Amino acid sequence: VIAPDGRFMYIWFYFVVFAIRYNLWVVILRIAFPAAQDEFTVAWLVFDYFCDFLYVLDIIINFRTGFLEEGILVVDAKRVARHYAVSKNFIADLLSVFPTDILCVLYPERLPMLRINRLIKAYKSFRIKSLMESHTTYPTFLRVFFLLHLMFLLINWNAGFYIMISRTEGFGTNAWVYPGNGSLYQQYLKSLYWSTLTLTAIGDLPSPATNFEYLYTIACYLCGVFMFATIVGNAGSIIVNRNANRLDFERQREGTNNYMRKNRVPKDLQRRVLMWYDYSWASGGGDLNSLTLLPDKLKTEIALHVNLETLRKVTFLQKCQPEFLHDLVLMMKLRIFTPGDFICRKGEVAREMYVIIDGKIEVVGEVGQVLKVLSGGDFFGEIGILSLSEGQNRRTADIRTIGYVECFVLSKEDVLKATRDYPEAQ
C-alpha cells in the first residue's frame, strides 16, 4: 500500500499534472482550430494515448493508496481498494477515461470534441496543489505559479470560444468577429489578443453587432472582473502572509536598534547586534520557534532526531540509559554566536557543554595559536557537566567562533535535574 503523502505519490503527481494540463490546454485548441487538428494529427494521437495511459495507471495506483481514518493511516489492501471503489473520485476518474474516442469511427471530424470528458480529471488539481505545497520549500512561488496558470488558461479558453463564435456567425461578417484571414498561428495569436483585452476589461475593441455578441462580450467582462479580482486578492494574501513574519522581525530589529541608540551603545556593538538579526533571518529561523504549534510529542521526536546521535558521541554518556539521554536532549537550548565571539575562556567556571549545529569554532591555545577547528556535529565543553557532586570544573582553553555559529547548550543544572530521575547515570 502506498502512503498518500509519500515521496512516490509526490513524484507520480507530476505525471498526472502533465496529463491534466495537456488536456486542459489542447482540447479547446483542437476544437476551435480544426487546422491544428489536421496539421499535427500524429502528434496529438501520441500524446492523447500517452495521457490516457497515465489516467488508467492513476486509477490502478489509487486502488493501492492508503487513506486517513480518524487521523490513522489505513494500510489494509482490501479496505483501501473498497474505500476508493465507493468514492466519488473513482466515478470521476472512470468517466475521465471512458473511451468516447471510439465514436470517431462514426464522426472522425469530431475527435477533439469526443475527448471533452478528459477534463473531468481536473478536479484532482486541488489535491495535487496541496501535496506539492507541503513538499516544496517554496510554497509561495508555487501558489503564484498556479494563479498565473489559471489566468492564462482562462484566456486560452476564451480565445477558443471567440474563434468558434466567429466561425458560426461567419468570418468577417462584421467588425466584432474574426476577419478569417491569416495562418493558424496568426489566428491563434489574434484570438488570444482579443481574449486578453476582453477579460482584462481594457476594451479598445470593435463593438458587438448582434444580440448574442453583446451577451457574450458582457459575460466576458463580468468573468474577467471576477477572475482578476480573485487572482489579485489571492496574490495580495500571498504577499501579505509572506511578509507578515518579515514585518514582525523588522519591528523587533528596529526596536532593538532604537534602544541601542537611545542608550548610546558603542557603534561596533550596534553593528554586531544588527548583523546577528540579519543572520538570524537569513538562516530561516533555525531555532524551534517555528515548531511551537506542534504537539509536544512531535516536538520531542524532532529534537531526538536532530540531537540524540550527537549526544551519544560524548564518551562518558555512551553507557547511559536511552531514557536518560532522551531527557537530556529535551533540555538542550539553542544559542547563536556572532563571528569572533569567545564562547568559553580558559580558567572560567564550566557550567555547560555545547553541540555545534552549524558553523565552525576554533580552540585557541595560550599564545593564540589555533589548536583545533570544530564544525557541525562536533561537541565541546563536556567538562562543564562532569563531576556533578565534586564542585566546579574550569575551562582548559579559549573557544572562539570563526563565523556565525549555532549551538545547542546543555547546562550542568539540567543534567543534575535529570540525574534525580536516573541516579545510576551519575
CB 288 within 8 Å of CB 336: no
Per cent of the chain over pLDDT 70 is: 85
CB 51 within 8 Å of CB 26: no
Q: Own/partner pairs for 299-302, CB < 8 Å, 24+ apart?
A: 300/326, 300/330
Amino acid 388: pLDDT: 53
User: Within 10 A of 83 (CB to CB), how many other CB atoms are there?
Assistant: 19
- Assigned C-alpha cell, 205: 475593441
CB 404 within 8 Å of CB 336: yes
Average pLDDT over residues 131-154: 81
The answer to whether residue 253 scores a pLDDT higher than 70 is yes
Amino acid 293: pLDDT: 47
The answer to whether residue 173 scores a pLDDT higher than 80 is yes
Amino acid 193: pLDDT: 92
The chain-wide mean pLDDT, for the chain, equals: 82
Per cent of the chain over pLDDT 90 is: 26
Average pLDDT over residues 207-231: 88
CB 414 within 8 Å of CB 338: no
CB 81 within 8 Å of CB 63: yes
> What tens digit of pLDDT does each residue of 347-388 get?
888 888 888 888 899 999 877 888 899 988 788 887 777 665
Amino acid 404: pLDDT: 84
The answer to whether residue 192 scores a pLDDT higher than 80 is yes
> What tens digit of pLDDT does each residue of 104-119 get?
666 666 677 888 999 9
Q: Which residues contact 230 (CB under 8 A, 6 or more apart)?
A: none
Pick the residue with more confidence: 29 or 255?
A: 29
The answer to whether residue 125 scores a pLDDT higher than 70 is yes
Per-residue H/E/C for the chain? CECCCCHHHHHHHHHHHHHHHHHHHHHHHHHHCHHHHHHCHHHHHHHHHHHHHHHHHHHHHHCCECEEECCEEECCHHHHHHHHHCCHHHHHHHHHCCCHHHHHHCCHHHHHHHCHHHHHHHHHHHHHHHHHHHHCCCHHHHHHHHHHHHHHHHHHHHHHHHHHHHHHHCCCCCCCCCCCCCCHHHHHHHHHHHHHHHHCCCCCCCCCCCHHHHHHHHHHHHHHHHHHHHHHHHHHHHHHHHHHHHHHHHHHHHHHHHHHHHCCCCHHHHHHHHHHHHHHHHCCCCCHHHHCCCCHHHHHHHHHHHHHHHHHCCHHHCCCCHHHHHHHHHHCEEEEECCCCEEECCCCEECEEEEEEECCEEEECCCCCEEEEECCCCEECHHHHCCCCCCCEECCCEEEECCCEEEEEEEHHHHHHHHHHCHHHC
Q: Which of 14-28, 202-216, 300-314 shows the lowest mean pLDDT across its residues?
A: 300-314
Strands 393-394 and 349-350: antiparallel
User: Which sequence spans correspond to the domains of the chain?
Assistant: 1-135, 137-265, 288-425
Q: Which CATH number, 3.30.310.10, 2.60.120.10, 3.90.1150.10, 1.20.120.160, labels domain 288-425?
A: 2.60.120.10
Amino acid 28: pLDDT: 92
- Assigned C-alpha cell, 54: 497515465
> What tens digit of pLDDT does each residue of 317-334 get?
777 777 887 787 778 888
Amino acid 390: pLDDT: 56
CA distance 86 to 84: 6
Pick the residue with more confidence: 303 or 44?
A: 44
Amino acid 51: pLDDT: 95
Amino acid 425: pLDDT: 62
Q: Which CATH number, 3.40.50, 1.10.1060, 1.10.155, 1.10.287, labels domain 137-265?
A: 1.10.287
- 22-57 residues labelled b (16+ CB within 10 A) or e (exposed): bbbebbbbbbbbeebbeeeeeebeebbeebbebbee
pLDDT band at 254 (very low <50, low <70, confident <90, very high): confident
Residue 389, judged by CB atoms within 10 A of its CB (0-12, 13-18, 19+), counts as exposed
Pick the residue with more confidence: 137 or 201?
A: 201
Q: Which of 2-6, 272-276, 338-342, 411-415 shows the lowest mean pLDDT across its residues?
A: 272-276
Look up cell 495521457; give the residue: 51
Single out the residue of 358, 308, 316 nearest to residue 337, CA to CA: 358
Positive or negative torsion for Cα 40, 44, 46, 47: positive
Average pLDDT over residues 139-159: 87
Amino acid 59: pLDDT: 95
Q: Which of 61-75, 238-252, 340-354 shows the lowest mean pLDDT across its residues?
A: 238-252
Q: Which residues contact 126 (CB under 8 A, 6 or more apart)?
A: none
Amino acid 272: pLDDT: 73
Amino acid 288: pLDDT: 44
